Amino acid sequence: MKNYKLFFLGITLVLLFFLYQKSDEIEKKIYPIFVQQLVDIPENPKNVLRIVFTGVSTPLTPHIAQQSVVLDINGSIYVFDVGARSVANFISQGTLDAAKIKAVFITHTHSDHISGLGELILASWVRGRTNSLDVFGAGSELKNVVDGFNLAYQSDREHRVIHHGEKFLKEENGLLAPKTFEIPEEETTIYFDENISVNAFKVPHGPVQGAVGYRIICGDRSIIISGDTALMEDYTFVNGVDVLIHEGIFNEESEKVSQAAYQLGNERIGKVFEDIQDYHTNLLDSDNEPGLISKLKDLDVGILALIHIIPDKDNLIIKRALKRFIKQSPLETVVVNDNMVMLLPLNSDKIIIR
Ligand SMILES: [Zn+2]
Ligand SMILES: [Zn+2]
């Protein structure tokens, strides 16, 4: 028995010695594998519109990334809102190339839709974006946000250009370029290129100024992103859309959260959950107010994708409420999660969810 132990100890020592001698060679083979994982971004198939949900939450749901929806078509990327932590999902999933971002579209200037802009500048600039990053949004608020980020990142830009050299990092490519448009009274095209056109429409999210939703048209496919909005009167404008990405709140449950917070002596949380009920979309009908559910009858929509759920969508009570909504919904309905992907092949009506 003792001899066996000595034998195995000897073998282990010889193996360790061998690995130590060869460690340089082993490292040389391992490094390219690591780097390949970082730089190998598989190409999305041609003529497939890909939607990647890199952030689905609000300031009230701190454990998941705040709202950001990324569209990818034929090698170009378009980012709709950039909430906190969404850029980490964008980069870490290894399926999106930040250098290929063509434009950013902001629905409104609440923090949970803009706070990742600084990270997005750097991620795309360093990876090789070849011009300043166009940021579209309504009114003077958007210009303030862009000017503010450019100023906040001025030293960062200057230091990185000195460090890496102007040839590698052109300073102007590290800038955001504001592309503001008038707050539209009616749905208006605010952007188009060879891949997509983007229409903006005004949504009720007062007191926020310049809150819009976007309709994105890509060949025969289309998507609507509601942005943050109170329940609208008439939803017939969504007819024919493949994916309706809509925000939502459960007002009855939010009221109970508010009351519980007051009972526990936390007046600040109590007030926040009271105040927010008037500028988001109540999902289920309650005694004193209608919900989105009552507006969906007779609508022609491929999939309703619920995003930006208040209270926290992962809370057991809210999970139950969402199940109730899905059961009652006349439309195919999904609650989107971080990193969920939808594929919409052009010239087809297929929607593949991953
Ligand atoms: Zn929001
Ligand atoms: Zn908002």
Residues of the chain with pLDDT under 50: none
* Residue 25 domain boundaries: 1-40
Indicate the residue type of 226: S
Domain check: are 8 and 106 in the same one? no
CATH number for the domain spanning 115: value is: 3.60.15.10
Indicate the residue type of 92: S
Domain check: are 86 and 8 in the same one? no
Domain check: are 123 and 150 in the same one? yes
Domain check: are 11 and 67 in the same one? no
Domain check: are 164 and 233 in the same one? yes
pLDDT of residue 3: 74
Å from CA of 171 to ligand 1 middle: 31
Domain check: are 11 and 153 in the same one? no
Å from CA of 111 to ligand 2 middle: 8
Q: Give the pair of three-digit tokens for residue 272.
A: 């926040």
Name the pTM for this structure: 0.91
Å from CA of 162 to ligand 1 middle: 37
What is residue 84's DSSP assignment?
T
The residues, any chain, with a CB within 8 Å of residue 19's CB and separated by 6 or more, are 26
Is there a contact between 270 and 259 (Cβ–Cβ < 8 Å)?
Answer: yes
Q: Which ligand is nearest to the CA of 230?
A: 2
Q: Give the pair of three-digit tokens for residue 78.
A: 């378009």
Å from CA of 14 to ligand 1 middle: 60
Using alpha carbons, list the distances in angstroms from residue 272 to 141, 202, 315: 23, 24, 18
pLDDT of residue 178: 97
How confident is the model over 321-353, as pLDDT tens digits? 999 999 999 999 999 999 999 999 999 999 999
pLDDT of residue 214: 98
The residues, any chain, with a CB within 8 Å of residue 113's CB and separated by 6 or more, are 66, 67, 81, 82, 83, 106, 107, 227, 228
Å from CA of 179 to ligand 2 middle: 20
Q: Which ligand is nearest to the CA of 229?
A: 2
Å from CA of 123 to ligand 2 middle: 25
Neighbours of ion ligand 2 (CB under 5 A): 110, 228
Domain check: are 174 and 259 in the same one? yes
Domain check: are 29 and 113 in the same one? no
Is there a contact between 86 and 67 (Cβ–Cβ < 8 Å)?
Answer: yes
Å from CA of 137 to ligand 1 middle: 15
Q: How many CA atoms lie within 13 A of 201 on its CB side?
A: 15
Å from CA of 214 to ligand 2 middle: 15
Domain check: are 116 and 6 in the same one? no
- How many domains is the chain partitioned into structurally? 2
pLDDT of residue 24: 82
Q: Which ligand is nearest to the CA of 248?
A: 1
Neighbours of ion ligand 1 (CB under 5 A): 110, 112, 228
Å from CA of 78 to ligand 1 middle: 19
Å from CA of 15 to ligand 2 middle: 60
pLDDT of residue 1: 59
Domain check: are 122 and 66 in the same one? yes
Domain check: are 1 and 132 in the same one? no
Edge-to-edge, what's the strand order for the sheet holding 341-345?
176-181, 133-138, 101-105, 76-80, 68-73, 48-55, 341-345, 352-353
Domain check: are 227 and 104 in the same one? yes
Å from CA of 213 to ligand 2 middle: 11
